[in-house]
Homo-oligomer: A and B are copies of this chain.
Amino acid sequence: MEQSDLQSLEENLPFWKKVSDDERKVLVDGTIRFTHGKGAIVHDDRNICTGLLMVVSGQLRVYIISETGKEITLYRLFERDVCVLSASCLIRNITFDVHVQAEKETTILRIATDSYQQVGKTNPFVQDFTNQLVSSRFSDVMWVVEQVVFMSFDRRLAMHLLEQAAIAGQDSFAATHEAIARDLGTAREVVTRMLSRFQDDHLVNLSRGGITLTDRDGLYALT
């Protein structure tokens, strides 16, 4: 393992100073660095217990998918975030599948479930970290529930566009109507219709494969 990877583990696993040298060795030996190209599927089945994923650089999307191929994004993971549901086999009572996709070229450290489980079994700090992650993702999902059930689609779309601009760090960003539909768990036509309305209202400017926010205040007013 490279020194920078070791440093990533040390900095992003809050229990790192509270495990023994032997336990730390188990974790280090069980960790592999991977780089996934944009669009690559990083994890896609609960039965394949991929392991914990720590994002070194890039961006991951965690989503669920229906029998008919419809999707909804649950949350995104950025640099330093740790994905726990890709190791959901180590959490009892988790009965659902999530899928994880790289949204840009993404480098991750993958900690093998076996190694993590071995250390977690005896070290309460590791277990506590797992639980914090689970609770945090549970809260993310509850936010999705609230949006889907309680909010009108124009409001959800406005929030989504503002969020995407924040992620991109600028008012213009690449986004297909298809990708937005997958994020919001709806049909492409629904997105296209509402984006056209937003454009008519001078809130956004649509171009091929991209969107520019032209009236942030107007979008905020919708949220």
Contacts and interface: CB of A to CB of B under 8 A. Distances in A.
Nearest to A146: B64
Contacts of A137: 138
A143 B64 CA distance: 11
Contact of A150 (B66, B91, B150): B66
Interface residues of A, number: 36
B145 A141 contact: yes
A93 to B, nearest CB: 4
A31 to B, nearest CB: 23
Interface of A: 64, 66-68, 70, 72, 74, 91-96, 124, 127-128, 130-139, 141-146, 148-150, 185
The 10 closest A-B pairs by CB, nearest first: A66-B150, A93-B135, A93-B136, A149-B185, A96-B142, A95-B139, A138-B138, A72-B149, A131-B131, A94-B135
